[in-house]
Amino acid sequence: MTGGSFPKKIPDCAFVLESSADILIARVCYVFLLWVSVTIFEAAQTVLQ
């Protein structure tokens, strides 16, 4: 996969995961994105309630 068909908006984390150059950075990036998603989701639920 060259990644040419992917949009430009893909974060650098995706390329780190693809290249597997640094697994630690990839894991930290993944956990951070997951934490941000959960935080936004919980905040949205609080606002809706």
Q: What angle do CA 33, 37, 43 make, to 5 degrees?
A: 145
Q: What is the pTM of this model?
A: 0.48
Query: In the prediction, which pLDDT does 40 show?
Result: 94
Per-residue pLDDT of the chain (49 residues; tens, 9 = 90+): 455 555 555 566 666 556 666 777 778 888 999 999 999 999 999 988 8
Rounded Cα–Cα distance for residues 24 and 4 (Å): 25
Query: In the prediction, which pLDDT does 1 show?
Result: 47
Under DSSP, is residue 36 helix (H, G, I), strand (E, B) or coil? helix
Rounded Cα–Cα distance for residues 40 and 34 (Å): 10
Which amino acid is residue 16, in one-letter code? Answer: V
Query: In the prediction, which pLDDT does 20 show?
Result: 60
DSSP 3: -
